[in-house]
A and B are shown apart, each in its own frame.
Chain A
Amino acid sequence: MTIEQISVFVENKPGKLAEVTALLGGAGIDLRALSIADTEKFGILRLIVSEPARALEVLRAADYVGSVTPVLAVSLADAPGSLAGVLRVLADAGINLEYLYAFITRQAGHAYVVLRVTDNARAAAVFAAAGVATATRAEIFA
């Protein structure tokens, strides 16, 4: 029910993001979603990629620091209010949300939201109980 996200430390310098994406592209790794959290001095790049373990290997070989984090991906109807409903489920259960980012796939009418919460198992349980569908890796890369 969780999927693997890779997170990478990037210095806040021109060309760093281009370098990371070029490395992954050169290794034939497919990017499905990406978000960057940046501070004045550094950024954390978060990626949903086709082969997380190999992607991280490629980046580490080029002196990048990163890690694999299990996150939840939720599939949403591409309609107003659907994200609010999902967030309400988390809020009602008192589950903390660290960050989220959204993306769409080739499937029409669907959007995905990647959620990083403090407790994946509990979040998955409350989603199941509320009828919110979590997506698998196979579904995202279909």
Chain B
Amino acid sequence: MNYFQEDMERASRETMRDLQSARLTETVRRVYANVAYYRRLMDARGVTPADIRSVDDLPKLPFLTKDDLRDAYPYGLLAAPLAETVRIQSTSGTTGRRVVAFYTQADIDLWEECCARAIIAAGGRRHDVVHVCYGYGLFTGGPGLNGGSHKVGALTLPMSSGNTERQIQFMIDLGATILCCTPSYAAFLAETIIEKGLRDKINLKAGIFGAEAWSEEMRRDIEEKLGLKAYDIYGLTEISGPGVSFECGEQTGLHVNEDHFLVECIDPDTGETLPEGEKGELVFTSISKKAFPLLRYRTRDICVLSRRPCSCGRTLIKMSKPMGRSDDMLIIRGVNVFPSQIETVLLNCGFPPNYQIILDRVNYTDTFEVQVEMTPEMFSDTVRDIAAKEADLLNSLKSMLGISPKVTLTAPRSIARSEGKAVRVIDKRKV
């Protein structure tokens, strides 16, 4: 048994299309009736639920963007009664860009089932010991894989992130066989395990790594160091969390759980749907969720879709690893960061918005530095005053972004400008 839900994972094209069409029309009808925000968007585009009869009608629907989610915050897109809604998850961050996603129990179940499909595809079974060191809490990584592991029936270690020594201790003592975390943390764990000479005490056979971009070189390096097979997993809080798509043993792309999440690839400039195989922006429509179904949500992730048959036997459409972004969002240590957030913090703290973000990857871990130009207003002749302003800035950045940068104050006009326009991001990471 290499599938968690074989009837869906190996459904014929016709069966899948019929199911998708039925779920899509039902979802559109429901959100149009229950959610004023969708009604407004659809009315503005002159489209009614009656116009949506099958998946072929998907392009008639308006797009939804992160700005819509922000405008509708917090309850504006909730499509189920509060009495049936049992959970929220949220993206890291910020007043400006906060996204809160809602779940009914059924929504959580289907999300966890998607994660269970990923675990099974990675070779996970009931007798496995699944070590989850994604963060728990508002972040979807921990809860998603945790729930997926439960659905599989495996012994689940809800480790959450941090405390590397303890992670390794539990991994060894309990004989963990499957590791779930970000690829950069997996690489860091691998380095630490080898440094401590504990490599032969590790019993891992598979890793399920996601929430950030990683290269094939990095995959091979982690596989070799930890003696496991590394599988990619993709997801976003807006759509449910990890498990929107997952890799199988072929390691040539991620199968989208398209019985729940319709995927399109569009030209980010024109919004036109692109033919299969062309590089464009991914757009998801969640057709099974009750509390927070999103219609045509623009992810800004640039990918290629493929329906070429897969040796694993799954018929689910495959997406490539994300190749980039169609906006300026950065993914740093698995956390989404927009340069505009940093600008907001600087202005709030009394600094001018003259800054530069410098990203690098040292030992497979992202380094994140924010350089800020010193101004006469911020200057003081005492170290204490400047250090206090620096600490204030650091704390504000930390609470806005959810991760902690290194803050460096620089001389005025020291930040590189190209043709008069400041270069805001220097990304030296090789992915």
Contact = CB atoms under 8 A, between A and B. Distances in A.
B380 A11 contact: no
A65 B382 contact: no
A64 B412 contact: yes
Contact of A63 (B383, B384, B414): B414
A39 B387 contact: yes
B376 to A, nearest CB: 6
Interface of A is mostly: strand
Given A11-B410, A63-B413, A64-B411, A44 B383 contact: yes
Given A39-B387, A65-B374, A44 B412 contact: no
Interface of B is mostly: loop
Contacts of B412: 63-65
A42 B372 CA distance: 12
A37 B410 CA distance: 16
B310 interface: no
Interface residues of A, number: 20
Contacts, number: 54
A98 B385 CA distance: 11
Contacts of B411: 9-11, 63-65
A50 interface: no
Contacts of A64: 411-412
Nearest to B406: A41
A116 B381 contact: yes
A75 to B, nearest CB: 22
B409 interface: yes
Contacts of B376: 65-67
Interface in A42-71: 42, 44, 46, 63-67, 69
21 contacts: A9-B386, A11-B410, A11-B414, A37-B383, A39-B383, A39-B387, A41-B408, A42-B386, A44-B382, A63-B413, A63-B414, A64-B412, A65-B375, A65-B376, A65-B378, A65-B411, A67-B381, A69-B381, A98-B382, A98-B384, A116-B381
Interface of A: 5, 7, 9-11, 37, 39, 41-42, 44, 46, 63-67, 69, 98-99, 116
